[in-house]
Amino acid sequence: MSDEEDAALTEAARTDRDNPPVPADARFISAGEARRRPGRPRIPSPKQQVTLRLDQEVIEGMRALGTGWQVRVNAMLKAWLASAK
């Protein structure tokens, strides 16, 4: 490629409206950052999923109190644990 051809291609690339040049202060991110989705911030002690067998009447009674019954079960267990110490 001659210098004239290179200069012509470079000028054509600079003036292309569909492909503007990258600004000098542009910040490039890694592929890992690009895949990261926004969401809740990580907490230092996340809850863990467990399998727990409860009597049917306990489950029905807690569900009858409305949504958030699992959170209430967790709060009740924490309160019992604090009182048991």
pLDDT in tens, 68-82: 999 999 999 999 999
| CA separation for the pair 51, 54 (Å, rounded) | 10
Share of the chain above pLDDT 90, in %: 52
Is 49 in a helix, a strand, or coil?
coil
Residue 73's domain comprises 52-85
Does 39 map to a domain? no
Residue 61, H or E segment: helix 56-64
Does 37 map to a domain? no
Does 81 map to a domain? yes
- Output the pLDDT for position 2: 94
- Output the pLDDT for position 64: 96
Chain center to CA of 45: 17
Does 10 map to a domain? no
- Output the pLDDT for position 74: 94
What pTM does this model have?
0.50
Give tens-digit pLDDT for 4-59.
999 998 888 888 888 877 888 988 888 888 777 778 888 898 899 999 999 999 99
Residue of 74, 40, 62 whose CA lies nearest to 82:
74
Is 47 in a helix, a strand, or coil?
coil
How many domains does the chain fold into? Answer: 1
Does 74 map to a domain? yes
Does 19 map to a domain? no
